[in-house]
């Protein structure tokens, strides 16, 4: 889960290594900062869209994550 969230929110490598036509959502969010102003509505909408897949995956698989984390902590 942590690896998925880390790779989903990574900005530096896609910013340097990708083309303009193949950017990720976090890199695309940077494009809403313009010299004429900041488009807060667009940034908020992009942030919500970027947060949905990790949240849905965690809600669906959360009990397995918790079970896996606590499975080795109990003796017996």
Would you say residue 36 has pLDDT above 70?
yes
Higher pLDDT residue, 46 or 5?
46
CA 1 to chain centre: 11
Q: Say what the pTM is.
A: 0.61
In this prediction, residues 7-22 reach a mean pLDDT of 74
In this prediction, residues 50-64 reach a mean pLDDT of 87
Instruction: Find out whether 25 and 46 touch, Cβ atoms under 8 Å.
Output: yes
In this prediction, residues 35-49 reach a mean pLDDT of 87
Would you say residue 33 has pLDDT above 80?
yes
CA distance 16 to 9: 15
């Amino acid at each position: 889960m942590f690896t998925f969230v880390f790779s989903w929110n990574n900005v530096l490598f896609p910013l340097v290594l990708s083309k303009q036509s193949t950017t990720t959502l976090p890199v695309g969010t940077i494009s809403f900062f313009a010299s004429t102003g900041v488009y807060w509505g667009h940034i908020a909408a992009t942030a919500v869209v970027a947060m949905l897949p990790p949240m849905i995956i965690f809600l669906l698989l959360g009990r397995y994550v918790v079970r896996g984390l606590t499975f080795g902590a109990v003796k017996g």
